[in-house]
Structure 1
Amino acid sequence: MVDYTFIRKDIIKRQTVIEGILELQSPLRIGVGKSGGMDPASIARDTVLKDTGGTPIIPGSSWKGVFRSEGERILRRKNLIVCSGVGKDYCLNNFRKYDDFQRNLTRDIDEAIRIFWNYTCLNCKLFGSMSVIGAVKFLDSKAIEFKLGTRTMIAISRTEGAVARGALVQVEFVEPGSKFTFKIMGNNLPNYAIGYLLTIMKNIHDGFIQIGGHKSRGFGFIRFVNLRFSDKGEKKIGDEDVSVSTQDEIKEEGDKFFEKMKPFMEAFNNAKIPYPVH
């Protein structure tokens, strides 16, 4: 009998938290754009996203998008089936199982769980899919030390892909050296799924992934200053999981943290992920 704990929402057998502080290595711009609530006190036409108190934030939705996008690249490199989760490109739709899944949500929940397990990729199970919430939650990252700057840039038309009329735009950004909080919370995560998240985080930490806008201009590089891992409950979730021997709590600065978390990343590398069906 298949163990569906990973995707179950009605039971919690394991709770995992990864949290800490990150530091910008280059300018960062998570923007609201020209039409999204401009800051009247700012001289910039293209402003940084802030909370109601004026503090810059990186929304959890932005983190989720970064993790899903980079995860898609990693999984494809391992020759695993994975969807983008954008538009109609999601597993249940691609396997033509979405209607069956929806019908069984009210008729036969066990069959709905079976369909979701068999016909969704690791990204769908972790980050969610149409009608199903994910197993992980990304909290908004809030600046705890920051400076804002502005830079004049050439404006590019989104519709034409060429230099826009007016040509120049004042862009606000968060300056290098600024620090933000970071937190991921997960329920019922197998060790290989934890290792998958950590692999993506290490790629961010090592400068292989950028966050936010203006990546071609060198924006969006970050490093994790320190991180804390806490794990409560069962230490192995599902028959396909790989055992990992480690502490229930690990707290270290960035490089040392990822060194100590290697067993989880190795679990991801060694796991034989049986879904989705071919």
Structure 2
Amino acid sequence: MVNYTFINKSVIKRTTVIEGVVETVSPLRIGGSKENFDPSSLARDSILKDVQGRPIIPGSSWKGIFRSTGERILRLKNIVVCSGVGKDYCLNNTQKEREFDSGLRENIIDQALRLFWDYTCLNCKVFGTKSVIGAVRFLDSLPISYSLNTRSMIAISRTEGAVARRALVTVEYVDVGSKFNFKMMGYNLPNYAIGYLVTIMKNIHDGFTQVGGHKSRGFGFVKFNIVKFTDLGEKRIGDEDVEVKGIGDLVEGNGDEFFVKMKPFMEAFNNAKIPYPKK
């Protein structure tokens, strides 16, 4: 019988927390909406701020960054994965959504669990999908220390792909050396899923993934500092999980040191034989 602990949210058998400090290595810009517009600012393209006027990296942005980065990592390993965008999600792609919804509606939980386990990718299980909450939560990242700056840039028309008529726009951004807190919580994550998330973090830390907008202009490079990993509960989730040795309930490290200490989890991800999704 398959162990569905990873995707079953009714009982929490393992809680993992990764928290630390994110430092900007290049300018950072998370765009604000029209409602977020600051009339006192010289910028006409302002960043997202909280009610106190501080820059913020929303948890939803982190989730999107992690999911898209993970998608690229999984595809490079020839592991089937959906984008989760629009209609490109596993239950729709495998035409199992109606049967899955029926199981939920009629309270046939075993059927729903089996379908979700068999026919969804690692990204769907970790980050969630339509009608299903993910196994991880990202908190909003608030600033510890920061400075804001502006820069005039050539505006590009999104519809025409060319220089807009009003060619210059003043862009607001968070300056280099600013620091934000970071916190991600996971529930019932197998060791290989923890290794997957740490691999994504290292991808961001090493500069292979950028955060926010204006990536083509060199914005969005960040690194992780003073990172702490806390692991409470069972140390192996599911029959397909890979055992991790030599790591206790708490791991701490500064940047590169943290990823060296977490290497056994990343190796668990690299060595895992992921049995889903079915074709």
Identify whether the pair has TM-score above 0.5, normalized to the shorter chain: yes
Alignment of 1:251-266 (within 5 A): 251-266=252-267
- Alignment of 1:53 onto 2:52: yes
Residue in structure 2 matched with residue 168 of structure 1 by the alignment: 168
Residue in structure 2 matched with residue 244 of structure 1 by the alignment: 244
Percent identity, aligned pairs only?
69
Distance in 1, matches of 2:35 and 2:169, equals 16
Distance in 2, matches of 1:100 and 1:138, equals 30
**Secondary structure of the corresponding residue to residue 6 of structure 2:** helix
Stretch deviating more after TM superposition (188-197 or 107-116): 107-116
Quote the offset at 1:36 in angstroms: 3.9
Alignment of 1:99-118 (within 5 A): 99-107=98-106, 108-118=108-118
In the TM superposition, structure 1's runs of 4+ consecutive aligned residues that sit over 4 Å from their partners are none
Residue in structure 1 matched with residue 97 of structure 2 by the alignment: 98
Quote the offset at 1:78 in angstroms: 1.0
Quote the offset at 1:87 in angstroms: 0.1
Quote the offset at 1:243 in angstroms: 0.4
Alignment of 1:259-274 (within 5 A): 259-274=260-275
- When residues 36 and 153 of structure 1 are mapped into structure 2, their CA distance, relative to the original with a 3 A threshold, is farther
Q: TM-score, normalised by structure 2?
A: 0.98
Quote the offset at 1:106 in angstroms: 2.3
**Secondary structure of the corresponding residue to residue 196 of structure 2:** helix
- Alignment of 1:80 onto 2:99: no
Residue in structure 1 matched with residue 151 of structure 2 by the alignment: 151
Contact 2:227/2:252, CA 8 A, preserved across alignment: yes
Quote the offset at 1:37 in angstroms: 2.3
Distance in 2, matches of 1:106 and 1:223, equals 44
Unaligned runs of 5+ in 1: none
Amino acid at match of 1:243: E
Residue in structure 1 matched with residue 64 of structure 2 by the alignment: 65
**Secondary structure of the corresponding residue to residue 142 of structure 2:** strand
Residue in structure 1 matched with residue 221 of structure 2 by the alignment: 221
Quote the offset at 1:123 in angstroms: 0.1
Quote the offset at 1:109 in angstroms: 1.2
Contact 2:30/2:213, CA 8 A, preserved across alignment: yes
**Secondary structure of the corresponding residue to residue 7 of structure 1:** coil
Distance in 1, matches of 2:267 and 2:111, equals 32
Q: Give the number of aligned pairs.
A: 277
**Secondary structure of the corresponding residue to residue 140 of structure 1:** coil
Amino acid at match of 1:45: R
**Secondary structure of the corresponding residue to residue 82 of structure 2:** coil
Amino acid at match of 1:174: V
Contact 2:104/2:112, CA 8 A, preserved across alignment: yes
Distance in 1, matches of 2:190 and 2:42, equals 48
Distance in 2, matches of 1:264 and 1:158, equals 42
Amino acid at match of 2:217: R
Amino acid at match of 2:274: I
Distance in 2, matches of 1:101 and 1:159, equals 39
- Let me know the Cα RMSD of the aligned residues: 0.8
**Secondary structure of the corresponding residue to residue 86 of structure 1:** coil
- Alignment of 1:195 onto 2:200: no
**Secondary structure of the corresponding residue to residue 75 of structure 2:** helix
Distance in 2, matches of 1:241 and 1:114, equals 17
**Secondary structure of the corresponding residue to residue 172 of structure 2:** strand
Residue in structure 1 matched with residue 230 of structure 2 by the alignment: 230
- Alignment of 1:37 onto 2:29: no
Distance in 2, matches of 1:258 and 1:60, equals 22
Residue in structure 1 matched with residue 21 of structure 2 by the alignment: 21
